Amino acid sequence: MDKRALYLEDIHYSSTVNMPCMTFSIPIFSQKDSVRTVGVLVARFNLAASLYNLLSNRTGMGATAETFIVSKDSVVLSSLRWSGDAPLKLKIAGQDAEASLGKTGIAETTDYRGEEVLSAYTYIPRARWGFVAKQDLEEIYAPINSLRKWMIVIFVATVLGVIIVAFRVAKSISNPIKALHKGSEIIGRGDLDYKVGTEAEDEIGQLSRIFDQMIENLKSVTASRQDLNREINERRHLEKMLLEIREHEQRRIGHDLHDNLGQQLTAVSFMVQGLENILRKKALPEAEDAARITHLVEMSKSQVRTLTTKEKVGRVLTERQKTEYRFIA
pLDDT tier for residue 87 given thresholds of 50, 70 and 90 = confident
Q: What is the pLDDT of residue 298?
A: 77
Mean pLDDT of the chain: 76
Q: What is the pLDDT of residue 325?
A: 45
Over residues 141-193, the pLDDT tens digits come to: 888 889 999 999 999 999 999 999 888 877 777 777 777 777 777 777 766 67
Domains of the chain: residue spans and CATH: 60-138 (3.30.450), 142-328 (no CATH)
Over residues 253-275, the pLDDT tens digits come to: 666 655 666 677 677 777 777 77
Over residues 36-63, the pLDDT tens digits come to: 778 888 877 777 777 777 887 777 778 8
- Mapped to the 3 state alphabet, what secondary structure does the chain carry? CCCCCCEECCCEEECCCCEEEEEEEEEEECCCCCCCEEEEEEEEECCCCCHHHHHCCCCCCCCCCEEEEECCCCEECCCCCCCCCCCCCCECCHHHHHHHHCCCEEEEEECCCCCEEEEEEEEECCCCEEEEEEEEHHHHCHHHHHHHHHHHHHHHHHHHHHHHHHHHHHHHHHHHHHHHHHHHHHHHCCCCCCCCCCCCCCHHHHHHHHHHHHHHHHHHCCCCHHHHHHHHHHHHHHHHHHHHHHHHHHHHHHHHHHHHHHHHHHHHHHHHHHHHHHHHHCCCCCHHHHHHHHHHHHHHHHHHHHHHHHHHHHHHHHHHHHHHHHHHC
Q: pTM of this prediction?
A: 0.46
Residue 83 has pLDDT above 70, yes or no: yes
Residue 197 has pLDDT above 60, yes or no: yes
Q: What is the pLDDT of residue 273?
A: 76
